[in-house]
Every structure is written in C-alpha cells, then in structure tokens.
Amino acid sequence: MNKTDEKQNVAGTGGSSGSVAIVGAGLIGRGWAIVFARAGWQVKLHDLHVGALDVARGEIANQLQMLVSHGLCSQPDLIIQKIHFESDLAAALADVDYVQECGPEVLDTKQALFSELDRLSAPHAILASSTSGFMVSEFAAHLSGRHRALVVHPVNPPHLVPLVEISPAKWTDPGITQTAHQIMSAVKQTPITVQKEIPGFILNRLQGALLNEALRMVQGGYVTPEDVDKTVRDGLGLRWSFMGPFETIDLNAPAGLADYAQRYGRMYHAMAASQSTPPDWDKSSVAGVDAARREVLKRDDISQRQGWRDNRLAALVAHKSKQEN
C-alpha cells in the first residue's frame, strides 16, 4: 500500500465512528477513552499494568455518571461497553484506524514507544501523541512511517475541555493532518492547527505567559498568590470562558481591535519591557506559592478538589452548550 492509498484508507472514515487504540490508562488516557466511546468509536485502552486498567474501569464509570448528572451524556452503560481494556500492545493496536499515545513525558521512552507503534499498527493508522512537552519531530523523525505521526495535544481533562492542538512536522502528510482534524471535530472536540512546530504549542505558551507573569509579581512582592487566583477567577476568566483575548479587546473599544490597540498599545508595549526576564521556577523559589496554596488546600485534599473541579467544568460545559455563540 502506498502513502496515497493509506491516506485514502484513513480518510475513508470521514472522521465518523471507527476504532482507536489509546496507549496509557492514566488521567489523559481515561479522558480520551470517554471522548471516543461517547462519539460511538470502538476503543481499546491499553496499559502494561493490569492494575492501572482496573483503576481506569472504575474511574471511567465514575466520570460517566458525573456527565450524566449534568446532562452531558446518556446511556453510560452503552458507552463503557465500547471500551475494551487491553494489556497487550499488539492486540490493542490490531486493526485500529487511529492511535492516541498517552505515555510518559520522557523523550527516549517516547521515541522507543513510537517505534513500537509504527511497527505494530496497520500502515494506514494515524499515530498521534498527547504530549505536552515534545514536538513530533523530536520523537518520531526516525520512523519509517513518520508521515502519519503528529501531536494531538488535549487539555486535561479532555472529556470536559474540548480544545485539541494538532501539531504536525514538516514531513507529516497534510492528508493525515486534515483527517486528524476531521476526527477531532467528529468526536466533538475543538481542534486548532499549529501552523509551524513550536515548543509548548499554543495553549501552554499562552498559559505560560500568564503563569510567568503571575510568579514574577508574587516573587516581586506586588500581590499574593490568592489575589492572583481571584484576578483570573473573578475577572479575566469570566470573559475568557466564552471569548478569546482578541475578541475581548475587539469589544472593549468603541471601534474595535484597532481602536483598542491605538488607545492601549503603548501601555502594553511598555509593560513588555519588564516581562522579559523569566521568573524562578526552582523548588525554593516556588515554595512560598506552594505554602500559600497548602494553607487553603491540604495536600491530602487535592484529589477531592480535582473532583470538584471536574464537576464545575461539567456544569460550565453544560451551560455553554445551551447558549448561542
């Protein structure tokens, strides 16, 4: 089968229901399993550790019940029936159309894993990574089938936060990129395309800019960690939950974005001069921020608070689904 035939084979699904192998049954892998099964795909969830698969089975059931309580899915029993738990990698990869890797963020481990995915999967299967930290050219350049490899980076948890960043390499087949985009749309995610490879992709670079500035201001004694969280939670975040930054400023001046830039551009340009020095992220430097967080949330209570977060996200998603864009 040549590459054109492979592309047509994958594209033949039209992004509609097919079969997927999800490699890694941690938080992200479990979320992906829900995303695909909810959309009608047959899912094979793989992990080398049988114990991890047992945990995944229970956690997925719990998450589906939470989705039901917010009206975000129905018939959870039918959804979980589409998820098959598989400890053998070759069996998990057999006859699937799409592979979503969710392995450790260790470069040589990921390179070795993608060698196995390339060797064991059908020649037409798309090989996608959930990586947050590596570009596909860093871990898949050595593959004979590298034309079908790309990053499809979700936001945690993917079954509640729909954004997906699709980041191909220069050598990724454009048809593969297009089909991955179609698949993500078909399973009700919101795909964007990273036009050129860049470390951190788009979301983490935007998040990093905010985190770096927040840490800079806390370390400089300008604000407390608690007040930074209030600023985003009860300020910027309210608008950003339904508008992006460019639409926000487009609506914040009488004549739109260009008018806003004319009014405030010089101020932001001047601020940027003091934002060029990276803050310290070492253990001792972030200890004060961590201590402030531990005052309001004990370390042993983080897992419970994550459940609270997921419920709040589900409620927000349910609310947004009823609104007009």
C-alpha span between 173 and 180 (Å, rounded): 11
Number of domains forming the structure of the chain? 2
Between 3-11 and 174-186, two packed helices, what is the crossing angle to 10 degrees? Answer: 10
- Looking at residue 127, its pLDDT comes to 98
Angle CA 45–51–55, to nearest 5: 70
Measured CA distances, 123 to 41, 236, 318 (Å): 20, 46, 39
**249, 257 contact by CB (below 8 A):** yes
Domain region containing 211: 203-321
| Positions of the chain with pLDDT under 70 | 1-16
Which two tokens mark 29? 């892998």
Q: State the pLDDT at residue 39.
A: 96
Q: Is residue 198 part of a domain?
A: no
148 and 188 fall within a common domain: yes
In this predicted structure, what is the pLDDT of residue 3? 47
**Does 178 share its domain with 235?**
no
How do residues 142-181 score in pLDDT, each as one tens digit? 999 999 999 999 999 999 999 999 999 999 999 999 999 9
Burial 11-25 (b: 16+ CB within 10 A, else e): bebebebbbbbbbbb
C-alpha torsion sign, points 146, 148, 154, 157: negative
My answer on whether 220 and 104 are in the same domain is: no
Helix (H) or strand (E) holding 184: helix 174-186
Whether 235 and 175 map to the same domain: the answer is no
Q: Please report the pLDDT score of residue 276 as a whole number.
A: 87
Q: What is residue 17's predicted lDDT score, i.e. its pLDDT?
A: 78
Q: Per the structure block, which two tokens stand in for 90?
A: 């070759």
Judge whether 166 and 177 are in contact, CB under 8 Å.
Answer: yes
Question: Can you give the pLDDT at residue 71?
Answer: 94
What residues does 86 pair with on adjacent strands?
46
The predicted pLDDT at position 23 comes to 98
| Of 145, 160, 193, the domain-final residue | 193
> Are 41 and 171 members of one domain?
yes
